[in-house]
């Protein structure tokens, strides 16, 4: 039974102003308990933000898995997110290339999904601004 858990999770994020984000956080918290890979999430439990909004944080560098980490240079990689085109670029701060790892591909995939999920909330207003 996941419903009581979901209610508790929703209350946990009652103060998150973006209600679509709050719903996603609650949903993914519940899914994570059921086996979802935390690194496949599009909402971040730690920062309570969409992934593409906080992936820049040092907390998202995971040397062991190679997330935002260039093993060749032992350097941190940055993530560039273009909110208009949906492009996501991972780039090592030292050699300037994208670490060719599964972790890099996962970052690109999840950040794109995060962008899409966040924008899905404003289908009518996006063009009106
Ligand atoms: Zn985060
Ligand atoms: Zn490098």
Nearest partner of 59 among 44, 43, 40, judged by Cα? 44
Structural domain of residue 99, as residue ranges?
A: 3-119
The position carrying tokens 């992936």 is 55
In a domain, 129, yes or no: no
89 strand-pairing partners: 80
Q: What is the total count of domains within the chain?
A: 1
pLDDT of residue 6: 62
Q: How far is the CA of 70 from the centre of ligand 2 (A)?
A: 5
pLDDT in tens, 5-36: 566 666 889 999 999 999 999 999 999 999 99
Residue 113: C-alpha distances to residues 8, 15, 17, 86, 117 (Å) = 25, 23, 20, 9, 6
In a domain, 124, yes or no: no
Q: How far is the CA of 110 from the centre of ligand 1 (A)?
A: 12
In a domain, 128, yes or no: no
Nearest partner of 56 among 101, 93, 1, judged by Cα? 93
Please tell me the number of the ligand nearest to residue 61's CA: 1
* 3-state SS assignment for residue 8: helix
In a domain, 15, yes or no: yes
Q: How far is the CA of 79 from the centre of ligand 2 (A)?
A: 13
In a domain, 105, yes or no: yes
In a domain, 125, yes or no: no
Q: How far is the CA of 92 from the centre of ligand 2 (A)?
A: 5
Average pLDDT over residues 76-104: 96
Retrieve residue 74's tokens.
């032992």
In a domain, 111, yes or no: yes
């Amino acid at each position: 039974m996941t419903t009581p858990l979901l209610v508790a999770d929703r209350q946990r994020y009652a103060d998150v102003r973006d209600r679509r984000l709050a719903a996603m956080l609650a949903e993914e918290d519940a899914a994570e308990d059921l086996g979802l890979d935390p690194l496949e999430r599009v909402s971040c439990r730690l920062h309570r933000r969409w992934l593409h909004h906080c992936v820049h944080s040092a907390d998202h560098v995971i040397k062991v898995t190679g997330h935002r980490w260039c093993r060749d240079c032992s350097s941190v990689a940055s993530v560039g997110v273009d909110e208009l085109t949906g492009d996501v670029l991972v780039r090592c701060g030292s050699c300037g290339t994208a670490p060719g790892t599964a972790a890099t591909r996962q970052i690109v995939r999840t950040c794109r999904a995060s962008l899409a999920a966040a924008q899905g909330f404003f289908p009518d207003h996006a063009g009106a601004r």
